[in-house]
């Protein structure tokens, strides 16, 4: 029975109808004329046009306001998180360097292999690795060409490149650098 009552009741007036009624009451109260005075049709059409345009314009303005707030919040969060991001990136790079160091053979094992590859008259002057893992060695030998040939024959040292050479006493000191075990 209640559903019949709901169906027979008149629908509520729309927003435009309510605004027109309020405007008529104000106009009637201000001019002292009866409330039945009608507005010219042009004004009602203009009011309806403004109401129709106001919806999307209000939506656009609200969206721009919200977008600006979100951009400011994102910039603030990025500023707050940038030290943590930089620390995480540095930790990742450090892990990669440590992994490379651990996968490489030790310098002692490299020196043993080098001692087997060097000619009998050659002497190791200096050996070391850079932070990037590049092996740098200096070898004193009477004949640098024989030394280079001996290192090229050893597969582990074939990638070493001659980076310098200088005279010392009766021997030449030859410097090599490159990737090695």
Host domain of residue 87 = 40-100
Asked if residue 173 and residue 135 are part of one domain, the reply reads: yes
**Which pTM was predicted?**
0.48
Asked whether residue 130 is assigned to any structural domain, the reply reads yes
177: enclosing H helix or E strand: strand 171-178
Q: Which among 50, 74, 100 is the end of a domain? A: 100
- CA geometry: angle 45, 46, 48, nearest 5 deg: 65
Which range among 1-15, 67-81, 119-133, 139-153 shows the weakest confidence by mean pLDDT? Answer: 1-15
Beta-carbon contacts of residue 104 (< 8 Å; ≥ 6 apart): 129, 133, 181
Instruction: Find the CATH number of the domain harbouring 137.
Output: 3.30.1360
Helices 107-117 and 144-153: crossing angle, nearest 10°? 120
Asked whether residue 89 is assigned to any structural domain, the reply reads yes
Asked whether residue 116 is assigned to any structural domain, the reply reads yes
Asked if residue 174 and residue 116 are part of one domain, the reply reads: yes
Judged on CB neighbours under 10 Å (0-12, 13-18, 19+), 80 is: exposed
Q: Which among 100, 117, 135 is the end of a domain? A: 100
Q: Which among 81, 100, 119 is the end of a domain? A: 100
The per-residue pLDDT for 32 is 55
Asked if residue 113 and residue 70 are part of one domain, the reply reads: no
SS3 16: helix
Asked if residue 148 and residue 93 are part of one domain, the reply reads: no
Asked if residue 124 and residue 140 are part of one domain, the reply reads: yes
Asked if residue 125 and residue 72 are part of one domain, the reply reads: no
The per-residue pLDDT for 15 is 79
pLDDT tens column, 18-56:
888 887 887 776 655 554 555 566 777 788 888 888 888
Q: Is the pLDDT of residue 1 over 70?
A: no
Report the domain count for the chain.
Answer: 2
Q: Is the pLDDT of residue 3 over 80?
A: no
Confidence of residue 68 (pLDDT cuts 50, 70, 90): very high
Confidence of residue 140 (pLDDT cuts 50, 70, 90): very high
Asked if residue 94 and residue 44 are part of one domain, the reply reads: yes
Asked if residue 74 and residue 46 are part of one domain, the reply reads: yes
pLDDT tens column, 90-128:
999 999 888 877 887 788 888 898 889 999 899 999 998
Asked whether residue 153 is assigned to any structural domain, the reply reads yes
Asked if residue 77 and residue 46 are part of one domain, the reply reads: yes
Asked whether residue 2 is assigned to any structural domain, the reply reads no
């Amino acid at each position: 029975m209640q559903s019949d009552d709901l169906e027979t009741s008149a629908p509520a007036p729309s927003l435009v109808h309510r605004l027109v009624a309020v405007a008529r009451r104000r106009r009637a109260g201000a001019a002292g004329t009866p409330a039945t005075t009608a507005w010219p049709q042009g004004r009602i059409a203009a009011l309806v046009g403004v109401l129709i345009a106001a919806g999307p314009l209000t939506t656009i303005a609200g969206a721009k306001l919200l977008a600006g707030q979100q951009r400011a919040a994102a910039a603030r969060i990025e500023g707050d998180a940038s030290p943590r991001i930089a620390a995480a990136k540095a930790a990742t790079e450090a892990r990669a360097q440590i992994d490379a160091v651990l996968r490489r053979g030790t310098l002692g094992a490299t020196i043993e292999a080098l001692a087997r590859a060097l000619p009998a008259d050659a002497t190791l002057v200096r050996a070391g690795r850079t932070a990037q893992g590049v092996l740098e060695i200096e070898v004193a030998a009477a004949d640098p060409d024989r030394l280079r040939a001996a290192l090229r024959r050893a597969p582990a040292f074939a990638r070493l490149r001659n980076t310098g050479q200088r005279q010392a006493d009766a021997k030449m000191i030859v410097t090599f650098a490159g990737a090695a075990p």
